[in-house]
Amino acid sequence: MKKLLSLVLALALALCAVSALAEDYVIATDTAFRPFEFADENGNMIGIDMDILAAVAEDQGFTYELRVLGWDASIAACQAGQADGMIAGASITDARKASGWIFSDGYYNAAQCMAVAAGSDIAGFADLKGKNVAVKIGTMSADYAESLSGEYGFTVVTMESSPDIYQAVIGGQAAACFDDAPIMADYIKSNGVPLKLVDGTANEGADYGFAVFSAEKQELVDKFNAGLANIKANGTYDAILAKYLGE
Amino acid sequence: METILRSYGPLLLRAMGQTLLLALYGLFFACIIGLIVGLMSVVKSKVSRAIAAVFVNLIRGVPMIVLAYMIYFGVPYLWNNVLHKSGLTFTALQAGSICLALNCGAYMAEIIRAGIESVDVGQMEAGRSLGLPWWRTMQRVILPQAIRTMIPSIINQFIITLKDTSILSVIGFPELVNTAKNVVSKTFMSFQTWAIVGVMYLIVILLLQFAAKELERRLKR
């Protein structure tokens, strides 16, 4: 009995040790949103967001623990206070600000558009009647698709990650998907995903921002903004973009 | 809480309908699979018993989320993109039903096998010595007794399967959890939304339990 009790205690302690924080902040991100965040061959997260975050943290002298939670789980974690902030290619929109997001300054501008399977003859929204369109839960692309679904008569199917919705289009479970244009372009170019972007389907787009969900975390946003301004001034920012976008 | 109920109540109710539809399809086919595989594992034929054991162990050994991804994304991919035959796609409802039917079917098979084996062997011997064929004895003597002991386990399995439908939110089927995630992503009221969703599941499962108790009571008479 004593042995059992000490085992239980040891396990409980081990759990506490894991959850004890060694870093200044916990930052949440998406699982796969290439080229902003994705795992390299060794499973380390790399990408524009990851490098910007690292550069900003170094510039501002804070440490952080990265949690790769997925898109909607990142939002939930920040709201619940399980994470301090998130960087996951989140578009800065008025609707999000109104519902509690607090954004940093924008660090990249992206539009949302539609993609279809490489061999598909769908040329625009009008060809989507009665078909399924895959989007990622709670994204700007999801709102964009939903705003069009009534007029063009298609069904919006929601999934948890960008690779999931691309798979659905490649596999024929959905006729098209809506996602951020630079992300889909990079998956097509770097991963050879057999999709094609459809011309004339983009919205006006918005800036990506780092986000927190509580006024108490404003300090983290301020640090991010200051760091972002510094890395833009010293050329680090341009170097990061060039590294992933090859321009 | 009120805002969610007012703006998203009908949507969540419809999603509950989808959950029940999915559970119903899944359970229906699971009963058929369970009965066939369960009987296959009690007959004399070694081959039949081996096939049943492989099926049960295979399905029980794989998490349902893996099964869901495999059936929805994997199988059509294999068929269309690797084998280059065309035209196989599953809707999320079809893939989800297959997934639930296989998963729940494997557990049902075990419940049915255990139920049949719980009936004293003397019963089968008695039936056979009265000149009844094996199947007849099974149908008239063994199964009616076995079913009574199986009912609580079967109801338990039904409840687990009803809750397992939530796993199929990952393949984009608009059941309750998938829909709730969308509601949370729009309203950011996670506590209120998940509380409502939890209560909705609870109500349905309590109703199911009540119906099951009633059924059990009648069968006991």
**Does position B221 have pLDDT exceeding 80, yes or no?**
no
Give the predicted TM-score (pTM) of the model: 0.80
Are A23-110+206-245 and A112-197 in the same CATH fold?
Answer: yes
Domains and CATH numbers, chain B: 2-220 (1.10.3720.10)
Chains A–B, number of C-beta pairs less than 8 Å apart:
64
Check B76 against A173: CB less than 8 A apart.
Answer: yes
Closest CA relative to residue A172, chosen from B95, B20, B144, B188:
B95
Partners of B174 on chain A (C-beta within 8 Å) are 157-158
Report chain B's terminal Cα–Cα distance, integer Å. 45
Q: What is the CATH number of domain A23-110+206-245?
A: 3.40.190.10
Instruction: Please state the rounded mean pLDDT for residues B195-215.
Output: 94
Using a CB–CB cutoff of 8 Å, tell me whether A167 touches chain B. yes
Model ipTM value: 0.74
Q: CA-CA distance, A167 to A174, in Å (whole number)?
A: 9
Using the structure block, give the residue that is written with the tokens 């007849």: B136
A146 and chain B: CB distance < 8 Å anywhere? no
To the nearest whole Å, the CA of B77 is away from the closest chain A CA by: 6
**Residue from the list B81, B171, B190 with its beta carbon closest to the beta carbon of A76:** B190
For A75, name the nearest residue in chain B, comparing CA atoms only: B185
How high is the pLDDT of residue A205?
Answer: 92
Choose the closest CB to B185 out of A72, A170, A213.
Answer: A72
φ/ψ of residue A204, rounded to 5:
-75, -15
Residue ranges of chain A whose pLDDT lies below 50: none
Q: Using one digit for the tens of pLDDT, what is the confidence trace for B115-137?
A: 999 998 899 999 999 999 998 99
pLDDT over threshold 80, residue B61: yes
pLDDT on residue A81 = 87
Of the candidates A79, A158, A171, the beta carbon closest to that of B76 is on A171
Give me the pLDDT at residue A62, please: 95
Residue with more model confidence, B3 or B146 = B146
* Closest CB from A99, A137, A158 relative to B188: A99
Quick check: A158 and B92 CB within 8 A? no
Q: Where are the domains of chain A?
A: 23-110+206-245, 112-197
Q: For chain B, what's the residue count?
A: 221
Percent of chain B with pLDDT over 70: 100
Mean per-residue pLDDT for B172-179?
93
**How much is the pLDDT for A48?**
96
Residue A220, burial from CB neighbour count under 10 angstroms (0-12, 13-18, 19+): buried
Interface contact A79-B188, CB threshold 8 A? yes
* Mutation site, B188, B189, B193, interface A, largest A CB count within 10 A: B188
What the block records as the tokens of A150 is 């009534």
Weakest-pLDDT range from B20-34, B104-118, B187-201 = B187-201
CATH number, domain A112-197: 3.40.190.10
Find the mean pLDDT for residues B56-71.
95
- Beta strands A195-197 and A112-117, pairing class: antiparallel
Q: Is the pLDDT of residue B189 over 90?
A: no
- Cα–Cα distance, A86 to A65 (Å, whole number): 11
Cβ within 8 Å, pair B76-A72 = no
Residue with token string 């001034």: A233
pLDDT per position as a tens digit, B70-111: 999 889 888 877 888 877 778 899 999 999 999 999 999 999
Provide the 8-state DSSP code for A163.
H
A138–B186 CB contact, under 8 Å: yes
Taking CA atoms, B12 is separated from A43, B16, B32, B105, B212, in Å, by 38, 6, 30, 28, 25
Residue A176 and residue A198: Cα distance in Å, rounded?
A: 10
Tally the residues of chain A.
247
Summarize pLDDT for A17-27 with one digit per residue, the tens.
655 567 899 99
Contacts of B91 in chain A (CB under 8 A): 173
